[in-house]
C-alpha cells in the first residue's frame, strides 16, 4: 500500500486517529448501551481478519497514527489477537500507538499477549464497584472477572484508564469512591455523559447526569486543578490534589468538543462513520471487495473527508425522546 495524501476534512482538521470495531457482539448487556435481547449482525456481514488488516494498512498509508480496536467487546472475537499482532508490527513503521477499549471480562486471559504485541494502554469500561449494582447494570454478574482482568493488565505492564458513564440514580453517589479507588490502583479515570444512541428499555432522560453538576460536587470534596495533559481526544483533564491522580471529563451533551476532532470510526461491517453523532457514512467494505480495492478505498476515504460534519448535535432534553441516532454504540464502536 503506497502512501497517499493525509486525511484532512473540509474544516482543515487532520484525521490521525481510527477507532476500528472488530465486532458488534458483547458478553455484557449494559442497560444504557443495548437491550437484553440484542440482535447482533450475521457473521458473514462482518469484515474478515484479512479485510480488517488491509483496511488498517490503508488508513496508516493516509496518515492514521493511532488505532483503537473496539466493539462491542473486541476480546470476544476469536481471531482478535492475530489482528493485534499484525498491527503491532506496524508500531514505529507508520503507527505510533495501538490500543483497545474493553469491558475487561476476558482481559486476564489476554493481557500478557496484548503487551507482547506492542499494546501499551487499554481503556476499561467500568461503571460501578458494587457487585450487585454491576449485575443489575450489566445484566451479568461479571465484576469479579473484570477486577481480575484489571489486576492482570497492571501486572502485564499495561497502562489502564477507566471509563465510567455517569448515571443519575444508578452510580451517581458512588462516583467519588470509584475515582478514589481508581487513583489508589494507579489508574486514570474518565467520566462520560450518557449518549443517546440506539433504543434501550429504559428512558435515558431518567439517568442523564450532566458532568458540570458532577464536577461541582467533586469540588466540594477535593481540589481539582485543570491539567495541561492532552491526548488528542475529547476529554478535559483535571489533577486531584488529594488523590494524586488525574480525572478526565467527556461532555458530549453539555460542552461540545468537536472543534478539535481528529478521529473517524469504522464498524465491524466496514461502514465508516465520519462522526459518532451523525449518519454520514461511507461503505469501505464495498470498496475492499471491489475489482480495484486500492483505488476504491482511496476514493472512499476522500469522500469521508468531504462529508465529515463540523460537530454532532446530541441532546437529552425531555422524557421519552427518541435517541439521537437509531444505531447502538456497540454497532459504531466505542
Residue 265 marked in a binding site: yes
The CA radius of gyration of the chain, in Å to the nearest whole number, is 19
CB 252 within 8 A of CB 266: no
List C-alpha distances in Å: 151 to 116, 174, 322: 17, 21, 39
Pairing of strands 236-240, 245-250: antiparallel
Residue 195 marked in a binding site: yes
What b-and-e string marks burial along 170-207, b requiring 16 or more CB atoms within 10 Å of the CB?
bbeebbeebbbbbbeeebbbbbbbbbbbbebeeebeeb
What strand order describes the sheet that includes 236-240? 224-226, 236-240, 245-250, 188-193, 159-166, 121-125, 97-102, 66-70, 17-21, 263-266, 271-273, 281-283
Residue 72 marked in a binding site: yes
Residue 275 marked in a binding site: yes
Residue 261 marked in a binding site: yes
The total number of residues written for the chain in this structure: 334
Residue 243 marked in a binding site: no
Residue 102 marked in a binding site: no
Residue 68 marked in a binding site: yes
Residue 33 marked in a binding site: yes
Q: 10 Å Cβ neighbour count for 92?
A: 9
CA trace torsion 105, 106, 111, 114 (10° rounding): -120
Q: Is the peptide bond between 254 and the residue preceding it cis, with omega within 30 degrees of 0?
A: no
Residue 66 marked in a binding site: no
Can you tell me the distance from the alpha carbon of 238 to that of 212, in angstroms, rounded to the nearest whole number?
Answer: 13
Residue 65 marked in a binding site: no
CA-nearest of 114, 317, 136, 334 to 234 is 334
Annotated binding site for [4Fe-4S] cluster: 26, 30, 33, 258, 261, 275
Annotated binding site for GTP: 19, 68, 101, 161, 263-265
Annotated binding site: 19, 26, 30, 32-33, 68, 72, 101, 125, 161, 195, 258, 261, 263-265, 275
Amino acid at each position: 500500500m503506497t502512501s497517499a495524501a493525509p486525511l484532512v476534512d473540509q474544516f482543515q482538521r487532520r484525521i490521525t486517529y481510527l477507532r476500528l470495531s472488530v465486532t458488534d457482539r458483547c458478553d455484557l448487556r449494559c442497560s444504557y448501551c443495548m437491550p437484553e435481547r440484542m440482535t447482533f449482525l450475521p457473521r458473514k456481514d462482518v469484515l474478515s481478519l484479512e479485510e480488517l488488516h488491509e483496511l488498517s494498512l490503508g488508513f496508516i498509508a493516509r496518515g492514521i497514527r493511532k488505532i483503537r480496536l473496539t466493539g462491542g467487546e473486541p476480546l470476544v472475537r476469536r481471531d482478535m489477537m492475530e489482528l493485534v499482532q499484525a498491527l503491532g508490527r506496524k508500531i514505529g513503521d507508520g503507527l505510533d500507538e495501538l490500543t483497545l477499549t474493553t469491558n475487561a471480562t476476558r482481559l486476564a486471559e489476554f493481557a500478557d499477549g496484548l503487551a507482547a504485541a506492542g499494546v501499551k494502554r487499554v481503556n476499561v469500561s467500568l461503571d460501578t464497584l458494587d457487585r450487585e449494582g454491576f449485575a443489575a447494570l450489566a445484566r451479568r454478574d461479571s465484576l469479579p472477572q473484570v477486577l481480575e482482568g484489571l489486576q492482570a493488565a497492571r501486572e502485564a505492564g499495561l497502562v489502564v484508564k477507566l471509563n465510567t458513564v455517569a448515571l443519575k440514580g444508578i452510580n451517581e453517589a458512588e462516583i467519588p469512591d470509584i475515582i478514589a479507588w481508581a487513583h489508589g490502583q494507579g489508574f486514570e479515570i474518565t467520566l462520560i455523559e450518557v449518549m443517546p444512541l440506539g433504543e434501550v428499555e429504559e428512558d435515558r432522560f431518567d439517568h442523564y447526569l450532566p458532568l458540570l453538576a458532577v464536577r461541582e460536587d467533586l469540588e466540594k470534596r477535593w481540589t481539582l486543578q485543570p491539567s495541561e495533559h492532552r491526548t488528542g481526544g475529547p476529554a478535559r483533564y483535571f489533577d486531584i490534589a488529594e488523590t494524586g491522580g488525574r480525572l478526565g471529563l467527556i461532555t458530549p451533551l453539555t460542552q461540545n468538543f468537536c472543534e478539535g476532532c481528529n478521529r473517524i470510526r469504522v464498524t465491524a461491517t466496514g461502514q465508516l462513520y465520519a462522526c459518532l453523532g451523525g449518519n454520514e457514512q461511507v461503505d469501505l467494505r464495498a470498496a475492499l471487495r471491489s475489482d480495484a480495492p486500492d483505488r476504491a478505498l482511496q476514493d472512499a476515504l476522500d469522500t469521508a473527508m468531504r462529508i465529515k460534519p463540523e460537530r454532532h448535535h446530541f441532546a437529552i432534553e425531555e422524557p421519552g425522546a427518541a435517541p439521537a441516532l437509531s444505531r447502538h454504540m456497540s454497532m459504531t464502536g466505542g
